[in-house]
Amino acid sequence: MLRVRCLATLAGAAFLLAQPAFAEEAALVCAPIAKVRPERHLRQLSLDLLGRPPTYEEYKAVQEKGAVTEEDVRAMMAQEGFYTRIRNFHRALLRSNISGSVNNNTNSRLGGNGTTTAFGFANNVSTGLRGVNGQSCNTDVEQDSCLTNLQDGHVTSLTAAPRTKCRDEMGVPLPVSYDYDANFFTCTELATKTKDTALTTCAALAALPLSNAWAKFRNFCDNRGSGTAQKSYLCVPTWKKFGEVDDKEYELEAGYTNLKDGYVESFNMPKSTTGVTQLNRCLLDLGMSNNVKGTYTVPRGCILREGYVTRPSPYWAPPGAPATVKVCAVEAQERVENPWTRASCEAARFAGDRTCGCGVDMRRCEVSAIGATTDPLYVRSVHDTRVTSFNEEPLRIIESVVRRDEPYYNILTTRRSFVNGTLSQYYKQNQGVGVFSTTLPAPAESIPSIPYTDINTWTEYTRDSSHAGVLTTPGFLYRFPTQRARVSEFYEAFLCKTFAPSSDGSLPPPEDACNRENNLAKRCGCNYCHATIEPTGAHWGRYAERAAQFLPPEQFPRFDPKCRDCAINGDTNCGGECSQYVMQAYDGDGASSLGMLKTYLYRTSDEEQNIEAGPRLLVERMVQTGELERCTVRRVWQEFLGRPMTSEEQRMYLTPFATDFAKNGHRFKALIERVVMSDAYRRID
């Protein structure tokens, strides 16, 4: 049935049509409007609400009734497909993806597979642990059998002081074998280097009398490989790298070697421009950093590798995995602090500290994907799984509010949240050290215990009182890493507003002191937006920037005299304890604020109340203005009609829909029902 809606008098319509700017709008308002047939309406609804076309039975049912009713729409919104649709809608609204916001430098990532090769660091931190980037441990020698199970013949016959233990006094693993680093040395098969086909082993070289020209180099004979694949190499400095112009055998010339008892102990590089003028023989002995016991360094030019140990399968092992795996002895340690220096292992530094290890159940470390996805023992990338889970958490909160037909803005205030296996074990085991910086959202014992590998089960729990819906989830805080970014997203997503400088604003001359104002809420040109952004951002003032860490007042007071004293004395680091405090002064306010928590700088008394009340207070204030309702109506309209409201549609629908939305207790399903049953939704374009 056709109906004609004309909202102006004929004279008024004629006037509008005469204006080019209103021609399209007037044509839309006064055009004939036809409601689609029930079958077409059903198809639109099924695709929009469930993401699929109707079934034959659903088509047949609506034909018999002659129309799609409100009960049909409500039945659709009770199906699981609708809640998937709700999650996807809000995924786009919140831009829920923190993959680009988390700096995973892979320092805690392990290589190996635990069977043929031991799990161990094979990245940058290997340089400090073993002497070279990407070098894992010796998977042929069991750590605590290092005195009887030897890989290298030169470990016993050529070591100055024979090894008598496999660990130091505190149980820290010691190296079990060494090799010469190809970044400093050129290693050539022994027979090739000496041009003696009978000289194939380091043991044979050691047996030569000193009258042989090559006998004195026995300390630089390096056995590589194992079993029948083991070969002996003679390693000498890469002379060209250290200032020489050709490939001569300088080691045979006087002045290039230092001897002890007739054997070479070190090489000299008199023409070196690299800063390296001497390379010593490699032993199994570690050095100390800054002469501090318990801090270990590897001599330059050497690769020192510890052995492996056998440990229970780590937390990421899938069902059916072997009960035990090989782990490098350094990474297998479970300490919470360095036993010598008492430095914490619960920080990013753990990966470079030889005394720390991965912790109980290897909780501090992670792995990339292992095996094919079709393999029953397939291991997912730990980091990717965590990112995916953090992305999903706020969407599960939103789904729960909509599913229970609660007031929609509970998504911004509820303490309810959800964990799957990944997040459950992340919180309960304090995983992700050095990659994520999050605060336990509730006491560990109140967080549901779900096996790590169960990524599809989401279980509800209640967070502590600092939390406010999606606005304090790691997924939101990491995605919008600063207070200003969090304000911008809140305004855009839930108030349909964006911040932009005034088009008619004018700036004072460059020499005007207003241009040097550090408080952006007052700086000329900036204050147009920041007069709103700064006080609003204070609602996230107790959440660290570029992290998801809550700063509780008892641990992070408004003012810390220790931080102030450090700042006054020029110690801006202050033992690493004052990163959240004002430690440098750039103006008078800053000078008087040394030792103050950064978020309190330039704050008024009202803004300080915002800091302590958190994001929940912001939501409560915005509900009172009615702006949240109007924006939500516009968001739902655009989602289901595929375009924004026209100015005429805003006049006709925006206020009535927003009013009904508020009267209905902000029930999101009721708003969707109102939109998809409207004439505008059913119009034939």
Spell 561-572 as b/e; 16+ CB within 10 A means b.
Answer: eebbebbeeeee
Q: Half-sphere exposure of residue 81, counting CA atoms within 13 Å on the CB side?
A: 14
- Can you tell me the distance from the alpha carbon of 559 to that of 553, in angstroms, rounded to the nearest whole number? 10
Q: Quick one: which of 141, 175, 159 has its CA closest to 298?
A: 175
- Can you tell me the distance from the alpha carbon of 151 to that of 143, in angstroms, rounded to the nearest whole number? 12
The DSSP output letter for 652 is: I
What pLDDT sits at residue 503? 78
What pLDDT sits at residue 247? 84
Pair 289, 122: CB distance under 8 Å: no
pLDDT tens readout for residues 253-311: 999 999 999 999 999 999 999 999 999 999 888 999 999 999 999 999 999 999 999 99
Pair 60, 30: CB distance under 8 Å: no
- Sequential DSSP letters for 153-198: THHHHS-SS----SB-TT-PBPP-EEEE-TTTEEEEEHHHHHT-TT
What pLDDT sits at residue 24? 42
pTM for the whole structure: 0.90
Who's near 585: CB < 8 A, 6+ residues apart?
567, 591, 593, 594
- Sequential DSSP letters for 433-467: TTT--B--SS-GGGS----TT--S--EEEE--TT-
Segments of the chain scoring below 70 in pLDDT: 1-34, 150-162, 684-685
